[in-house]
Amino acid sequence: MTDGRDDGERAAGPAPAVAFDRISKTYANGTVALRDVSFSVPARTIHAICGENGAGKSTLMKILFGLEEPTGGRIWLDGRPVSTATRDFAGRHGIGMVHQHFSLIPTLSVTENIILGHEPGKGGLIDRAAARARVEMLSRRYGLAVDPDAVTGRLPVAAQQKVEILKALSRDTRILILDEPTAVLSPPEINELFSRLRDLSQHGITILFISHKLNEVRSLAETVTVLRAGQLAGAARLADVPDNMIMQMVMGRPVEITRRQPRQVTGEPLLAMSDASLASRDPADRLQSIDLVIHPGEIVGVAGVDGSGQRGLVSLVTGTARPVSGSIRFDGEDMAGASTARWRARGMAHLPSDRFTQGGVPALTLTDNAIAGTDGDKRFQRGPFLRRGAISRAVAAMVEDYSVRALSIGERLDSLSGGNVQKLIAARELATEPRFLIADQPTRGIDVAAAAFIHKRIVDAAERGAAVLLVTADLDELLRLSDRVVVMFAGRITAVLANEAQLTPERLGPFMLGLEGMP
Amino acid sequence: MTGLAIITDPATFATVLRVMTPLLIAALGILISDRAGVFNLGMEGMMLTGALAGVLVSAWTGSAWLGLSAAIVAGGLIGALMAFAVNGLGANLIIAGIAVNLAASSGTTLGLFFATGDKGMSGALRSGVMPSLDLPFVRDIPGIGPLVSGHNVLTYGALLAVPLISLMMARTAFGLRIRAVGVDPKAAATVGISVKLIQLQALVLSGMLGGMAGAYLSMGYVSWFAQDMTAGRGFIAIAIEVMGMGTAWGTLAATIVIAIAETLAITMQTFGLPNELMQMIPYVVPIVILTIWTARGRARPAGR
């Protein structure tokens, strides 16, 4: 930590802030999450940890934060071995964590959230003046401006993240862990976050940054450690290695990332939405005067910070909402307020954003999930009875075709990894050879290999002539697949842009924040 | 007697306070458990146990105050038992609450039988009654004095509990932790708060208030224990807590409304209206109010 505490060990250079020493974690059910992972992080640096989903990044950080116990190995802090299995381990050792899903209580004030668990007291009551002063001091010292009295749940996401960071820093924190912190932010907000994090590192805080986005890792961190399948796959100074080397470490094999050549599509649009507005109790779902056309064979990508109206837009074309005004025409037919069944009958297919509540039923088998929505199909039904043999053969073919990794098609859906669930749902939806495909966050939270597979199938569908509406928070995905990009903010479309080479996430930023393109 | 005379009659005011006292104490107990995320559905059973414990212990010791203490301890123990069942053994919260109510209903009958040989009433026991409190100086104020002075000590205790619990929830670390645990236990746990400990404390506190509410019934409202004497007050207290929107002052307001409705039911019987119709009032009022509130909540656009 500070000088003079462990001078004896400083002869060979300062001890690293954190050293993982042959850390292993095997769960009770036999799953090996980590195996003999060793690496160290020098003090006052920003260190990235990369890897696919399930590579063990989060487990490793939970161990460092004291939320889980390793089954083997130990952690060293400043050159001393520590036991993480003690109460309030993280707090006592100055380790703070910014969780991917915020750990803020929405109904409490900003100050209450930050002091929670270590409240300053005076005569049995919370010393509110001291608490507020502490929040203001932290806020000033680290350049993170927040209103100490605001109700946390009413703040915008970027502000909530600042609160989350302040909370993580509130206990004399020396080591800050950030788990995928950019997922909820727009590009300008990400830049802002990164410059704040660089300031923190200047203040002497060691930062561990978990991400699967290479460009972010590169712009923020100095060194990177890559985990693959629970083992150390490599470590490097970022200045020394090119992107494809890191990707190869992440994937375990060479990969190429290419941007699809956008196509200019002309002629009659398949979907034509004009001046469509949607009312909703939730402001995040409201839409105002949406004009949108999608031609056959065209992929239209929708960009926007979460809650900009994407959900409302999807509900209009999947038959779950009726516009209050405006028209929606599909292949010339008026479809405003049409039911889901009618949309499906016209050739709509839908990859929903939440694969476990809308996409599939977790407690049912792969087979049951794969034939959901096919009732009445003569191939699978004779009279009132299901034809189990025919169904099994069809589902087995789907599983094979989409390389869904499962022990058997009789397994429960929730025994599969997220990527495999998404592949199965994609198989089901694309089996109908749709004319209109809605892909809503199609690869959120799934590993790179499965994501590449889903991308290929979406592009294939477009090349067969389907109109595709791609809604995604992942701007790399958006720019890689789309022919045209539509940006939404506060229920409006703020830009419609051709996906040319000069279109970058930075160009989209102002439209995503409503700084440009608002009436 | 005319309607106006009833309202201005000090006796009516006293009835409202008498009806209010057990409901307010119980509803405040439910409030604490609710905010901690362990809704105390066993309130009815805790009240009933407190009512019996108060009568038995005051009869044996000759001290009403010891009876009250026993009622509070008994309620707290049931709260601890419920917390253990839910957080220690993984029982369902609703089922645990129902179990407490059913067990208390038969258990108190059994206890009464062992103590008195009677299954219905404790009339044979010489049990204590909580004293009334004449407020010095206040009682001499013309007009107001006779209204506010001379009520049961637990009535004043219940009214005093409102600001105290409000202060506890808003301004103490314990209250803040209760609010945090009730909204998001996982997030609370990540800052080192023991969710189980907070919920145990909340349920014990809730149970202690339940025991106190029960003691008022058997040692204030009347001076004996009768089988199932709580008569659904624990459930009315649940409705009151919900109407109070999870705040102590809101709970007080809701209790006043319900107590007035119930007092109305009691006094209206003298006008010859059907007894059963009047007895519906305390149940109909929460339904109407909750329906209106829910409808209003729907109409309001969701804030972000």
Tell whether B196 is within 8 A of chain A (Cβ).
no
Give the pLDDT confidence score for residue A3 in this predicted structure: 42
CATH code for position B282: 1.10.3470.10
pLDDT in tens, chain B (304 residues): 455 566 667 788 888 999 999 999 999 999 999 999 999 999 999 999 999 999 999 999 999 999 999 999 999 999 999 999 999 999 999 999 999 999 999 999 999 999 988 888 888 888 888 998 888 887 788 777 778 888 999 999 999 999 999 999 999 999 999 999 999 998 898 888 899 999 999 999 999 999 999 999 999 999 999 999 998 899 999 989 988 988 999 999 999 999 998 888 877 777 777 777 777 777 787 788 777 767 665 544 333 2
Does residue B304 fall inside a structural domain? no
pLDDT (tens digit, 9 = 90+) per residue, B64-91? 999 999 999 999 999 999 999 999 999 9
Give the pLDDT confidence score for residue B300 in this predicted structure: 40
Alpha carbons A221 and A315: distance in angstroms, whole number = 40
Closest CA–CA distance from residue A116 to any residue of chain B (Å)? 7
Q: Is A171 helix (H, G, I), strand (E, B) or coil?
A: coil
Give the pLDDT confidence score for residue A306 in this predicted structure: 79
Statement to judge: residues A155 and A204 lie in one domain:
yes
Give the pLDDT confidence score for residue A228 in this predicted structure: 85
Statement to judge: residues A100 and A195 lie in one domain:
yes
Give the pLDDT confidence score for residue A432 in this predicted structure: 85
Give the pLDDT confidence score for residue B25 in this predicted structure: 97
CATH code for position A311: 3.40.50.300
Does residue B137 fall inside a structural domain? no
Whether the pLDDT of residue A153 is over 60: the answer is yes
Which residues in chain A touch residue B304, judged by CB atoms under 8 angstroms apart? Answer: 154, 283-284, 307
Which residue in chain B is spatially nearest to A280 when comparing CA positions? B301
Q: Is A428 helix (H, G, I), strand (E, B) or coil?
A: helix
Give the pLDDT confidence score for residue B24 in this predicted structure: 97
- Environment class of residue B143 by beta-carbon count within 10 Å: exposed (0-12), middle (13-18) or buried (19+)? exposed
Which residues in chain A touch residue B303, judged by CB atoms under 8 angstroms apart? Answer: 154
Statement to judge: residues A38 and A120 lie in one domain:
yes
Statement to judge: residues A383 and A438 lie in one domain:
no
Does residue B140 fall inside a structural domain? no
The whole-number average pLDDT for the span A474-486 is 90
Which residue in chain B is spatially nearest to A156 when comparing CA positions? B304
Closest CA–CA distance from residue A170 to any residue of chain B (Å)? 11
Statement to judge: residues A331 and A474 lie in one domain:
yes
Mutation for testing the B interface, residue in A62, A103, A113, A116 having most B CBs under 10 Å: A116
What is the domain range of residue A377? Answer: 359-433
Domain count, chain B: 1
Statement to judge: residues A195 and A68 lie in one domain:
yes
pLDDT, chain A, mean:
86
Does residue A2 fall inside a structural domain? no
Structure tokens at A174: 């020396």
CB nearest to B176's CB, from A91, A126, A281:
A126
The pLDDT confidence band at residue A211, using thresholds 50, 70 and 90, is confident
Statement to judge: residues A416 and A440 lie in one domain:
no
Statement to judge: residues A274 and A405 lie in one domain:
no
Taking only residues 62 to 81 of chain B, the set having a beta carbon closer than 8 angstroms to any beta carbon of chain A reads none
Give the pLDDT confidence score for residue A86 in this predicted structure: 79
Alpha carbons B264 and B232: distance in angstroms, whole number = 18
Q: Which of A193, A218, A251 finishes a domain?
A: A251
Q: Which of A201, A221, A251 finishes a domain?
A: A251
What is the domain range of residue B109? Answer: 3-129+151-299
Statement to judge: residues A322 and A364 lie in one domain:
no
Which residues in chain B touch residue A129, judged by CB atoms under 8 angstroms apart? Answer: none
Statement to judge: residues A126 and A216 lie in one domain:
yes
Residue (of B80, B104, B77) closest to B227 by Cα position: B104
Does residue A412 fall inside a structural domain? yes
pLDDT (tens digit, 9 = 90+) per residue, A279-324? 887 778 889 999 999 999 999 999 988 788 999 999 999 999 999 9
Does residue A397 fall inside a structural domain? yes
Alpha carbons B264 and B279: distance in angstroms, whole number = 9
Which residues in chain B touch residue A125, judged by CB atoms under 8 angstroms apart? Answer: 167, 171-172
Structure tokens at A414: 């929730």
Structure tokens at A4: 């003079």
pTM above 0.80, yes or no: no
Give the pLDDT confidence score for residue A9 in this predicted structure: 42
Domain count, chain A: 3
Statement to judge: residues A180 and A31 lie in one domain:
yes
Amino acid identity of B204? V
The whole-number average pLDDT for the span A62-82 is 89
Which residues in chain B touch residue A112, judged by CB atoms under 8 angstroms apart? Answer: 176, 179-180
Whether the pLDDT of residue A445 is over 90: the answer is no
Does residue A353 fall inside a structural domain? no
Taking only residues 110 to 169 of chain B, the set having a beta carbon closer than 8 angstroms to any beta carbon of chain A reads 167
Phi, psi at A227, each rounded to 5°: -110, 140
Statement to judge: residues A438 and A427 lie in one domain:
no
Phi, psi at A224, each rounded to 5°: -135, 145
Give the pLDDT confidence score for residue B302 in this predicted structure: 32
